[in-house]
Amino acid sequence: MGNVRSLLHWRSLRWKIALLVAVACGAIALTVGLLVHRSTYERSVNDGAAKAYSVLDTALGSTDPDDASGLVHDPAQMPPELVREARAHGQAHVFDESNQYRPEMWASRRLPDGQLVAVSVDMTPDQLSRAALDRHMWKYSLLVLAVVVSLSALAAELPNRRLRQVARTARRIETGDLDARTRMRGRTGDEIAEISGTVDSMADSLRDRVLSEQRFTADVAHELRTPLMGLVTSAELLPESEATDLVRDRVRVLRTLVEDLLEISRLDAGVEHAELRPVDLAEAVRESLARTGLEARLTVDNAPVVAETDPRRLDRILANLVINAHRHGSAPVEVTIEGTTIVVRDHGPGFPDSLLTEGPQRFRTGTAERGRGHGLGLTVATGQAHVIGASLGFSNAAEGGAVATLRLPSTDATHTRGDAADMRRNA
Amino acid sequence: MSHAASAVGAGASAPAPASVTILLVEDDEVIRRSVAMALERYGYHVIAAGDGLTGLELFREGRHDLLLLDVMLPGLDGIGLCRRIRETGTDPILMMSARGDALDVVSGLEAGADDYVVKPVDTAVLVARIRSLLRRTTFTPAAAATGGRADQAGSPGRLDQSGQSGQSGQSGQSGQSGQSGQAHQHARLVFGELAIDTGGLEVSLSGVPVALAPTELRLLLEFAANPGIVLDRQTLLRNVWDYGWDGDTRVVDLCVQRLRKKIGAERIETVRGFGYKLRR
């Protein structure tokens, strides 16, 4: 189906090339046709004249009255041009096409007595054969044109295919397949080989950069987490005391900070991929809110919706939004599910203007009244939303309070709960 | 969760987890000492090594019930060590990765680790993972006393009674096989050339015994209890690994891969987008 559609796509290079070939072939066919037509006409006229003279001479030299019967002696019955020419030059021939259904070739001689004698030869068969020739030329020109155009469209398929391969590869690279290559470098030295070579080398350098970033992130993760692990475990071993609580609290903050930073750098490197599966949205959100251990009022505005999403990432987003609402806004925090849209709203001073205009910025919590925190939570939430194909928007409610709106992609995979159950059963 | 709860009950009611010995291989001294101390507080006995080769020597002494391996180790690294151990044994292996990226996690699981945790990990989480893993092994306090530990290396894994009842309990959840779960107690299930003795917990392929690591065996039993039925990754994570909502499905995928290598790739079928099923 796709093949047929791509074949019929009129803007395709294939049809442009075919059109060009058709125009060129048509021009050649027309020129050759005209030349052939003209030379056939001239030859036909010459042959006709020769024939007419020979008929005339035979009639004049013969004593057979049958032969002489075709002779015309009355100049009034001859074409005037013939009369004029014959009188002037002693002999003349004229091709008379005045009757288009019966063209005649006239030949005339001036007899020694000054009388004109002429004969006419019927040229209809000649005209018919010329017309047939013209028809043949048209027919075969069109036939050959059709064949050539189809062949050129097919031949254009070869560079077309290579170009499409380049486009496909570029798209795959765009979607994160950094090992995609056109592998056409140096096969032929044309422009397509050049562009595919460029795409390949672009992909090479892109992959190198991503890989080195990934390596760096992984190394940083190792270097940070190793001492942190010792710290976390050791802090757990400390005897209970007020000082221990202080240490544990700071360890917890440090741990969150490190994990957020590592998460952001993984998101930046584009190495995160969503693991989609059908998720009962209301259920997932409820559990997610419970896990934060923070107060949040959940309202579900519609029938239970099953969305195709990554529950772990959805949890990260919601946790960050709710924690952010509590940390920077004030209670009550309201979470509303409407279709596949989840809105987290608090009743604090609202998001600062810079966040509304520029989006979340790392380590920037905006104004002083937005309180403590590293400003990483919303960056993480935005990044994770991007990974699961959702959009996360920030606004302020008219009556005050920050509003974060998470719109999950509503795909075909969004069903009511019953559908998802059917799906599982049928599988 | 009833399965997990009952199994936890069986594990937690064990009065002396001190008889469980954990071989910890970790190069960072602070982590090695603090994790050892923390685990000892939970009643485990810990023997520790600071590098892969020492870890391998201690492994060969065979005093452990479970291995806790760091991925990045000087000399022989955790993945190499894991592979060496899997050449001969089916001991439960839990990997600890500080990088947590696909390379570490996937290579660790490919090498035969049963599960992994990413550092920094709370002791409570680590202990939960250890318990879940131990439930999948031959270990019960009684079995330990009667030399269950000695059986560890070499012999194919066995499930203890509590594990088995957990198994039939949860397969009862999925409907249909409630009664057959009981019947399985000493049944011999045959799927083509694959034979599973659910009583003796022995698996053979064309009559040749197959040595399965505890998680692989547990996974196979899960499939065998639901032959021909698609099991999604979440269900498997919950029933085999005791993960709640937050398990990493790569654990399932890689364990299935390992299992396929041992019992024939065509036996477990991938149902794209849903999960896996055992071909009858």
Question: Hey, which residues does B45 pair with through a beta bridge?
Answer: B21
What are the sequence ranges of the domains in chain A? 13-145, 204-269, 277-426
pLDDT band at B167 (very low <50, low <70, confident <90, very high): very low
pLDDT band at B176 (very low <50, low <70, confident <90, very high): very low
What is the mean pLDDT for each group of 10 consecutive residues in chain A (427 residues)?
A: 64 83 90 92 91 87 74 85 87 86 88 86 88 91 90 85 88 83 73 86 88 82 89 94 94 90 82 82 89 88 82 91 88 89 90 84 62 75 91 89 89 46 42
Q: CB contact, 8 Å: A276 with chain B?
A: no
Q: How far apart are CA B38 and CA A232, in angstroms?
A: 11
Average pLDDT, stretch B123-149? 65
CATH for the stretch A204-269: 1.10.287
Q: For chain A, what percentages of helix, strand and coil (3-state, to nearest 5) are there?
A: 60, 15, 25
Residue B70 has pLDDT above 70, yes or no: yes
Q: Which residues contact A9 (CB under 8 A, 6 or more apart)?
A: A15
Cα torsion for A177, B116, B54, B83, to the nearest 10°? -60
Helical (H) or strand (E) element with A391: strand A391-396
* CATH architecture, domain B2-145: 3-Layer(aba) Sandwich (3.40)
Per-residue pLDDT of B33-52, as tens digits, reads 999 999 999 999 999 999 99
Nearest residue in A to B97, CA atom: A222
Residue contact A236–B122, C-beta within 8 A: yes
What are the sequence ranges of the domains in chain B? 2-145, 161-278
Distance from A296 to chain B by nearest Cα, in Å?
21
Q: What is residue A42's three-state secondary structure?
A: helix
Nearest residue in B to A283, CA atom: B245
Q: CB contact, 8 Å: A257 with chain B?
A: no
Q: How far apart are CA A328 and CA A370, in angstroms?
A: 5
Q: What is residue B9's three-state secondary structure?
A: helix
Query: b/e for B236-260, b at 16 or more Cβ within 10 A?
Result: bbbbbbbbebebbbebbbbbbebbb
Axis-axis angle for helices A191-237, A124-174 (nearest 10): 20
Picking from B1, B26, B28, B31 by the largest number of A CB atoms within 10 A of its own CB, the best residue to mutate is B31
Q: What is residue A333's three-state secondary structure?
A: coil
| Residues B230 and B271: beta-carbon distance below 8 Å | yes
pTM of the full structure: 0.63
Picking from A233, A287, A314 by the largest number of B CB atoms within 10 A of its own CB, the best residue to mutate is A233
Assign a CATH topology to domain A277-426.
Heat Shock Protein 90 (3.30.565)
Average pLDDT, stretch B228-238? 88
Question: What is the predicted pLDDT for the residue at B11?
Answer: 39
**Residue type (1 letter), A65:** P
DSSP secondary structure, A78-110, as one string: S-HHHHHHHHHHSEEEEEE-SSTTS-EEEEEEE
Question: What is the predicted pLDDT for the residue at B15?
Answer: 41
Distance from A313 to chain B by nearest Cα, in Å?
10
Instruction: Give chain B's mean pLDDT.
Output: 76
Picking from A225, A267, A415 by the largest number of B CB atoms within 10 A of its own CB, the best residue to mutate is A225
Residue B5 has pLDDT above 80, yes or no: no
Question: What is the predicted pLDDT for the residue at A219?
Answer: 84
Q: CB contact, 8 Å: B101 with chain A?
A: yes
* Rama region for B116: left / alpha / beta (φ>0; ψ in -120 to 50; rest): beta
Residue contact B232–A222, C-beta within 8 A: no
Q: How far apart are CA A375 and CA A353, in angstroms?
A: 14
Report yes or no for ipTM above 0.90. no
Q: CB contact, 8 Å: B37 with chain A?
A: yes
Q: CB contact, 8 Å: A237 with chain B?
A: yes
| Residues A202 and A214: beta-carbon distance below 8 Å | no
Residue contact B28–A218, C-beta within 8 A: no
Please report residues of B whose CB lies closer than 8 A to that of A277.
232-234
pLDDT band at B155 (very low <50, low <70, confident <90, very high): very low
CATH for the stretch B161-278: 1.10.10.10
Question: What is the predicted pLDDT for the residue at B27?
Answer: 93
Distance from A333 to chain B by nearest Cα, in Å?
24
More confident residue, B102 or B81: B81
Average pLDDT, stretch B142-170? 36
